[in-house]
Amino acid sequence: KQEVTQIPAALSVPEGENLVLNCSFTDSAIYNLQWFRQDPGKGLTSLLLIQSSQREQTSGRLNASLDKSSGRSTLYIAASQPGDSATYLCAVEYGNKLVFGAGTILRVKS
């Protein structure tokens, strides 16, 4: 069964800290992996998409890495800000379907 797990479920950090969010998947035969941000009561916003042939993608203070062999992806957020507070979800594409993790709720304290 194709499953996606995100750890931790919730994370609280002081402003300015660098942090890492984890995503693991059971089936390594992926097409791509996406990281999304979701604010409370809102839809999802795509942050980064990593193709299966890529190792990482960067956008501003965000860096996502992908290690297919170990079934893991990490989202690194540098110099965190209170505005980064949100739920972060990863989703793995398996060709004909997208499997989502339950998300990590991030709170950045000022």
Between CA 82 and CA 101 the distance in angstroms is: 23
Distances (CA, A) of 69 to 9, 18, 25, 72, 78: 24, 26, 10, 8, 26
Which residue in the set 91, 104, 106, 108 belongs to the binding site for another protein (CB under 8 A)?
91
- Please say which residue, 37 or 108, places its beta carbon nearer to another protein: 37
Min dist CB 103 to another protein, Å, is 7
- Please say which residue, 77 or 89, places its beta carbon nearer to another protein: 89
Residue 23 touching another protein (CB under 8 A): no
- Please say which residue, 7 or 102, places its beta carbon nearer to another protein: 102
What angle (nearest 5°) sits at the alpha carbon of residue 81, between those of residues 99 and 57? Answer: 45
Between CA 108 and CA 83 the distance in angstroms is: 8
- Please say which residue, 77 or 90, places its beta carbon nearer to another protein: 90
Judged by CB under 8 A, the chain residues 28 through 87 that form the site for another protein are 31-32, 34, 36, 41-46, 49
Number of shown-chain residues binding another protein (CB under 8 A): 25
Between CA 19 and CA 1 the distance in angstroms is: 30
